[in-house]
Structure 1
Amino acid sequence: LLADAHVDAIGWSGTSAGWLGFDQDEALCAAITEATGVPASTSVLALNKALEAFGIRRLGLVSPYLADVQSRIIANYAKVGIDARTESHLGIQENFAFALVDDATLDRQVADVVAAGAQAITTFCTNLYAAHRVAHWEAEHGVPVFDTVTTVVWDMLRRAGVDTRRITGWGRLLQEA
């Protein structure tokens, strides 16, 4: 039914492929495209494109997740040559609670992974309220920050032929890639 809207792209704003494996989102996108004829993207696949576009090999991983989930994300990124061991997670399990993480907590998490040497940061959870802080963190810390809500929007806009440089206040991804 999404294709009935005559959209240029379909996006899945979710991060479970981070711990389940990137092939999960590749299969999802293939199924969506096969069923609709419309190209599809996901938050994680778009993040991976952004990391490639920026040449990132040392990723700071900021999430609200449990330690075992965080470990699986780190392992999946290691398989594609990205070191995401510089990380901060909050040990939260309940999905609604992810959205309640405050700015001060996220500010501390981002600062911690930057101080530990991350080349770029991802706020990795589509239920985190974090995208509004990206430009602030980039200005404060001097590294690109890729929020997983923004990544899928960026990829969909690119697929639709939109020049994202016209969109300000949402970080370097939209301005530079």
Structure 2
Amino acid sequence: MTVFERQTGKRVGMLTPSSNTVLEPYTSAMFAPFGDAASAHFGRFRVVEISMSDASQGQFTDAPILEAARSLAEAKVDLIAWNGTSASWLGLEKDRALCAMIEAETGIKATSTSLAYDHLFRGMGLKSLGLVTPYLTEVQDLIVAQYASQGIAVSADARLEEKVNHAFGTYSADQIAGMIREVAKSKPQAISILCTNFRGAPQAAALEAETGIPILDSVSVTAAHCMREMGLDPARVNNWGSVFQLFSDLHYPSQQREKQ
């Protein structure tokens, strides 16, 4: 390809909480095996706290998210993803409605972390889940209730009682690994690291080998789902745990993956 030819790689636009420092470098590393064939691009809107306060919940109103989506659309992306977990406590209908609005505003297909999890959970026939987050109990209890309404029992959970979004990304990998080992004792079908600003993804493969349980990190789940939505094969991504093979094996209607 000469410098004068157009680049035709797939592009995903990620809507990112403003105080998140984890998902951008991790997501870019996950897309690296595709080279010029695929890339991730990011737009931010203000999110600084996760709690059930009015101020915190007001961060997830539609207007700022739609403005960020319109800006991402100017990069001619093939897909827009809300890379955040708020629908895990607000309900999946929140993200379904948001994605419909993004598609209406931009003409670009939209998805989210919570919708990616839902697709994976359904594909796995998931009934029991271990849950690891940095969140407050008031948030975590709502997440557990949302999963119960979907027929998924949280067999054990761990949380840090933290509400400052930027602080989520400052907790060490060793601390997160300890939380995973604790919930693994309940022998769930899978363990979710539910937060896109939490440093769980790089150690997922090692912890899966140690516990024998799939580790479903939010950043990884979002990236793998977006790859499939764009017709890419997540199985090309190595060293980030089984999530990428799990998504490679999932059924996506009327879609063929890239040829290896």
Global fold match (TM > 0.5) = yes
2:106 is matched with which residue? 36
The answer to whether the Cα contact below 8 Å between 2:155 and 2:188 also exists between their aligned partners in 1 is no
CA distance in 1, matches of 2:157, 2:221: 19
Q: Quick one: which of 182, 196, 203 aligns to 1:126?
A: 196
Using the alignment, how far apart are the partners of 1:159 and 1:12 within structure 2?
Answer: 14
Per-residue CA deviation, residues 33-78 of structure 1 (Å, 9 max, x unaligned), is: 1111211111111111111222211011100101110000000111
User: Which ranges in structure 2 are unaligned for 5 or more consecutive residues?
Assistant: 1-70, 248-260
Which structure has more relative contact order (CA 8 Å, sep 6+)? It is: 1
Q: Check the 8 A contact 2:155/2:186 in 1, yes or no.
A: no
Is residue 191 of structure 2 the alignment partner of residue 114 of structure 1? no
**1:94 corresponds to 2:173:** no
4+ residue runs over 6 A deviation: none
Q: How many residues align?
A: 177
- % identical aligned pairs: 38
1:1-177 paired onto structure 2 within 5 Å: 1-177=71-247
Distance, in Å, in 2 between the alignment partners of 1:85 and 1:164 is 28
Calculate the aligned-residue CA RMSD, in Å. Answer: 1.2
Unaligned runs of 5+ in 1: none
Q: CA deviation at 1:17?
A: 0.8
Distance 2:104 2:142 in 1: 29
Q: In structure 2, how many angstroms separate the alpha carbons of the residues matched to 1:176 and 1:151?
A: 10
Q: What TM-score comes out, normalization by structure 1 length? A: 0.95
Cα distance, 1:131 vs structure 2:
1.1
For the residues of structure 2 that align with 1:92 and 1:85, how far apart are their CA atoms?
Answer: 22
Give the drift of 1:117: 2.1
How far does residue 176 in structure 1 lie from its aligned partner after superposition? 3.0
Between the aligned partners of 2:232 and 2:125, the Cα distance in structure 1 is: 23
Contact 1:13 1:42 in 2 (8 A): yes
- How far is the alpha carbon of 1:6 from its aligned partner? 2.4
Query: Take 1:167 and 1:93, find their aligned partners in 2: how far apart are those partners?
Result: 32
Q: Which deviates the most, 2-11 or 74-83?
A: 2-11
| Distance in 1 of aligned mates of 2:94 and 2:210 | 35
Once the two structures are TM-superposed, the CA of residue 85 in structure 1 deviates from its matched residue by 4.4
CA contact (8 A) 1:61 1:86 kept: yes
More helix by share: 1
User: Residue 80 of structure 1: CA displacement?
Assistant: 0.8
**Mapped contact 1:11–1:153 kept (Cα < 8 A):** no
TM-score by length of 2: 0.66
CA distance in 2 between partners of 1:176 and 1:66 (Å): 30
